[in-house]
Structure 1
Amino acid sequence: MSLTQQNPALTGQSNDQSFENVWQELKWRGLVHVSTDETELEKALAGDPITYYCGFDPTAPSLHLGNLVQLLNMRRLQLAGHKPLGLVGGSTGLIGDPRQTAERVLNTKETVADWVGKLQAQVERFLSFEGDNAARMVNNLDWTAPLSAIDFLREVGKYFRVGTMIKKETVSARLNSDEGISYTEFSYQVLQGYDYLQLHKLYGCSLQTGGSDQWGNLTSGTDLIRKVEGKSVFAFGTPLITNSDGTKFGKSEGNAIWLDAEMCSPYTFYQFWLNTSDADVISRLKVFTFMSREKIEELEREVAERPFARRAQKELAYDVTSLVHGVQATESVIAASAALFGQGELTELDEPTLRAATEELDSVTVPADSMGIIDLLVASKLSDSKSSARRTVTEGGAYVNNVKVTDLDGVITADQLLHGRYLLVRRGKKNLAMVEVAG
């Protein structure tokens, strides 16, 4: 199955006509923070196809929004005609990229191998494996596993200078902390540099991309290739994405926004983007969608002139959710949002979508013999007393599954339960609660 068949939203454009080349487009989208020789890199990307790679470590069973920046960058470069290598680090995942704060907990080899498979499947969804510039998936365990410690130290370690290594930002921060840094994590930059060397030898890879916080690791590869092969290759780093108020991007209620639907439902994912502030929405459109410059500038004017319409946020949420979860899942999410407030059929929502759409509502479990409308309004705390509940019914403000209930003695029957156990109870237009019926 082709990439377009898997996800039409990833078709994109091979080169937005607003730009002379893909490098200029990347810069306009705010995707270039630091790079090796920019002039030569721009020439390389404007010339014959080159091979490039980006690496993802299996430190969790799913990629997240920070990784999505790199995945879409890979897709942009492939649409411009270049050849991607998607690397999932079976060996570097066993070590762990040093964090600013503390040592990582080492996962078991079995766990890492399982996560490698899951991340490979996620990366593959964003690349095309057909045509003259077909993508290729690689695993750095393939070339590190055969190396003995002595071979590694002799053939690779001798090219690295400790003085240079300790100046790397993350390493320096850890060395100056109470936590310190282990030799295991200290050696991570050597492993990543070795990856670039091997990909250069095996596939002629001449560009590595990543986040700017990885710059020390990226340049360890360019330096190693220069020393071993006597050749100049490229690297560039994207900026860390932050919100306009300076807070960290990609967090929701303290939780990472994962790309795996089981770890972050499409509904939650969609709502995250829909809640983007006016100050951030245009930069998000540039980074996380394939919209043309013309379309984004149109939406920018819309934000300035009609911010209340939130058209830019709606298009952002639709596009990014479609990129990650597919158009069908996105349409289901939108239908769920409408159905909660009586603008669609609740009965048409599958159970996972229903649960995701109502997970932030107040919820309560009631026994099967407490399904009278008065009891439901009180149990769900939509009414603070039975007399208040009766008044709500009398005034026409009580709804169960979007159906108005006018009978004070009305009892909900089993055949009205959503998926055999749920009821959406509403008071007025906007006060909602989810009721699960036990038994």
Structure 2
Amino acid sequence: MDIIKDLEARGLVQQFTDEEGLKKHLNTNIVTLYCGFDPTADSLHIGHLVPALMLKRFQLAGHRPIALIGGGTGMIGDPSGRSDERQLNDEATVDHFSQQIKKQLAQILDFDKDKNGAVARNNKEWLGTLTLIEFLRDTGKHFGVNYMLAKDSVQSRLENGISFTEFTYMILQSYDFMNLFDKENCTLQIGGSDQWGNITAGMELIRRTRKEGEEAKVFGLTVPLITKADGTKFGKTAGGAVWLDKDKTSPYEFYQFWINTDDRDVIKFIKYFTFLDMEEIAVLEQSVLEAPEKRLAHIRLAEELTVLVHGEEALAQAQHITAALFSGDIKSLTGDEIKQGFKDVPTSVLKRDEQTLVNLLVDAEIAKSKRQAREDIQNGAIYVNGERNQALDHVLLDDDIIDGKYTIIRRGKKKYFMIQFTGA
């Protein structure tokens, strides 16, 4: 498999150093490569998927990936791609974040293969034991201030200000590359396009400090910044970032994010985020042009990503919720599915007791008054768990309360409300 050819066909190469040398290196060796993930939260989000999947692509091509958790650099903060300084977390918090991220990466990469199994490393192992004098003498002396100031990650911050802490981030990341080169024979670093300066700085450090020749030959490759056709930021929704942690972004929300991809972006995202071959992608691209209403490409994208991140069972659940909401068959949903499907609708917590539908609408602030509630019911505007209810004297029965906890009220065509009942 020609990994570079495949990446270029998918539009996944922004820059690389020594194109011909890298291609030869990959074609003649099992190459160890790495990508870093700084633990700035207790979960990765979908913006991290492209570099994580890049590691997987190289692994499938027979190479050996290292997922580097930035337990050390995460204490400092990367200035790349930011207009202001990151909030610094304490050591215990960063350690916790690191453990969570390692677990998520294990869902994507194969850590069990014998020949080219992925490995996880944490740069706190070596950065945490460095003394200041050792760092300045042995590493810092190889970095000219003018050289560092010329890097985009620093240049972009000079106007608003950059602390010395963040200014040294480039040197720390360079030290990572050198350390992995020494201990793991790692010869390729990959990352987002905003990491180009840090990657090439690491290459320069290895060139300066390690023996010349083929033994010290290292490479860098970056992937492009993901952009959306409508100009909005990729990976953001009205509720914030789309996380890989199911407790932050449910599998249903995750599935829906990809289903709702803009038609103009869907094929690009299939190339970026899935492992479908280019022939199958071409067929899906044709379907977008000839039968966009079928949304075959969107469904395939959502299926592939949901299985990859959350598994087959979570995909089946997301599809079940989607089908139930489309058909109005809300009663077929479980309590957990109700929580996922109606996470963002107005919710009222009420005490479980016998009361009429009229009173329930008022107590849950779905209707402003009993008069309005009666009018809405009589006019057929009120649905209980997907079924129209026009009985003014209706009292909620056990069948109306899913898993003994939830009732979904719909008023009109689109206004949903969730009622969560507590014990009587």
Whether TM exceeds 0.5 here: the answer is yes
- Equivalent of 1:140, from 98, 106, 123? 123
Which whole-Å CA distance do the structure 1 matches of 2:305 and 2:373 have between them? 45
Q: Residue 108 in 1 paired to residue 87 in 2?
A: no
Q: 2:182, 2:51 → 1: CA distance?
A: 23
CA distance change for structure 1 residues 236 and 371 in 2, over 3 Å: closer, same or farther?
A: farther
Corresponding residue for residue 270 of structure 2: 285
> Residue by residue, what CA displacement relative to the aligned partner does 1:28-80 show, whole Å, maximum 9, x if unpaired?
11110011111111222222211101111111111111211111110010000
> Aligned residue for 1:421?
405
Partner of 2:289: 304
CA distance in 1, matches of 2:40, 2:413: 44
Residue type of the partner of 2:342? T
Matches of 2:378 and 2:12, distance apart in 1: 57
Amino acid at match of 1:412: L
Contact 2:377 2:390 in 1 (8 A): no
Bigger shift: residues 292-301 or 384-393: 384-393
Would you say the 8 A contact 2:193–2:223 is kept in 1?
A: yes
Gapped regions of structure 1 (runs ≥ 5): 1-14, 16-20
8 A contact 2:190–2:222 mirrored in 1? yes
The SS at the match of 1:297 is helix
CA shift for structure 1 position 337: 1.8
Counterpart contact for 2:378–2:390, Cα < 8 Å: no
Aligned to 1:31: 12
Partners of 2:347 and 2:23 lie apart in 1 by 55
Q: CA deviation at 1:299?
A: 0.9
SS at match of 1:125: helix
Deviations 1:371-420, CA, capped at 9 Å, x for gaps: 42344456563798234223234xxx653223454543221124531232
1:178-233 Cα shifts (integer Å, max 9, x gaps): xx111111000001001111111111111000000011111111111111112221
The alpha-carbon deviation at position 431 of structure 1 amounts to 4.8
Q: Give 1:349's aligned amino acid.
A: T
Secondary structure class of the residue paired with 2:366: coil
**Is 1:122 the counterpart of 2:109 in the alignment?**
no
Would the alpha carbon gap of residues 346 and 173 (structure 1) be closer, same or farther in structure 2, given more than 3 Å must change?
same
Q: Does the 8 Å CA contact 2:324/2:333 hold for their aligned counterparts?
A: no
CA deviation vs aligned residue, 1:141-179 (integer Å, no higher than 9, x gap):
1122222111111111111111110111121121222xx
3-state DSSP of counterpart to 2:79: coil
Give the equivalent residue in structure 2 for 1:95.
Answer: 76
2:142 maps to 1:155: no
**How large is the RMSD of aligned CA atoms in angstroms?**
2.1
Q: How does 1:134-213 map to 2 (within 5 A)?
A: 134-177=117-160, 180-213=161-194
Please give the alpha-carbon distance, in whole angstroms, between the structure 1 residues aligned to 2:189 and 2:15.
Answer: 12
Please list the CA deviations of residues 299-328 of structure 1 after superposition, one character each: whole Å capped at 9, or x if unmatched.
111111111221211111111111111111
Q: 87-96 vs 35-44, which deviates more?
A: 35-44
| 8 Å contact from structure 1 (residues 35, 235) kept in 2 | yes
Stretch deviating more after TM superposition (328-337 or 70-79): 328-337
Kept after mapping to 1: 8 A contact 2:324/2:332: no
Instruction: Report the secondary structure of 1:119's partner residue.
Output: helix
Aligned-residue offset at 1:289: 0.8
Q: What TM-score, normalized by structure 2, do the two folds share?
A: 0.92
Write the distance in 2 (CA, Å) between the matches of 1:436 and 1:340: 18
Structure 2 counterpart of 1:391, which letter?
Q
Is the 1:336–1:346 Cα contact (8 Å) retained in structure 2? no
- 1:369-384 correspondence to structure 2 within 5 Å: 369=353, 371-376=355-360, 379=364, 381=366
Q: Which residue of 2 aligns with 1:56?
A: 37
The range that moved more, 72-81 or 416-425, is 416-425
Contact (CA 8 Å) 2:71, 2:98: kept in 1 or not? yes
CA pair 387-106 structure 1, distance change in 2 beyond 3 A: closer
Q: 2:26 — aligned with what?
A: 45
- Picking from 225, 232, 235, the partner of 1:240 is 225
Query: What CA distance in whole angstroms lies between the structure 2 residues aligned with 1:216 and 1:232?
Result: 18
In the alignment, structure 1 residue 399 sits paired with structure 2 residue 383: yes
Secondary structure of 1:337's partner? helix
Q: Which amino acid aligns with 1:358?
A: F
Residues 323-349 of structure 1, C-alpha deviations (whole Å, 9 max, x = no match): 111111111011112223446564542
Q: Which SS does the other structure have where 2:265 is aligned?
A: helix
Percent identical among aligned pairs is 43
| Contact persistence 1:382–1:433 (CA under 8 A) | no
CA distance in 2, matches of 1:347, 1:224: 61
Distance 1:66 1:293 in 2: 23
The separation in 1 between residues aligned to 2:331 and 2:147, in whole angstroms, is 61
Counterpart-to-counterpart distance in 1, 2:419 and 2:239: 26
Structure 1 residue 356: deviation in Å?
2.1
Match of 1:260 in 2: 245
Which position in structure 2 is the counterpart of 1:8?
Answer: none
How much does 1:369 deviate?
Answer: 4.5
Q: Deviation string for 1:232-257 (max 9, x for gaps)?
A: 21111100101012322111116111
Residue in structure 2 matched with residue 386 of structure 1 by the alignment? 373
Q: Which moved more, 1:91-100 or 1:419-428?
A: 419-428
Letter of the structure 1 residue corresponding to residue 379 of structure 2: T
* TM-score after normalising by structure 1: 0.89
In terms of mean alpha carbon deviation, does 331-340 or 196-205 score higher? 331-340
Q: What is the DSSP-based 3-state SS (H/G/I as helix, E as strand, rest coil) of the residue aligned with 1:117?
A: helix
Residue deviations 1:84-125, cap 9 Å, x none? 111101110111111531122211111111111111111121
Which 4+ residue blocks in structure 1 deviate beyond 4 angstroms? 341-345, 376-380, 427-431
Distance (whole Å) between structure 2 residues aligned to residue 339 and residue 254 of structure 1: 22
Match for residue 249 of structure 1?
Answer: 234
The answer to whether the aligner puts 1:313 opposite 2:298 as a matched pair is yes
> Matches of 1:283 and 1:342 in 2, distance apart?
30
Q: Distance in 1 between matches of 2:397 and 2:126?
A: 63
Give the count of matched residue pairs: 414
CA distance in structure 2 between the aligned counterparts of 1:390 and 1:139, rounded to whole angstroms: 60
Work out the CA distance in 1 between the residues paired with 2:46 and 2:287: 26
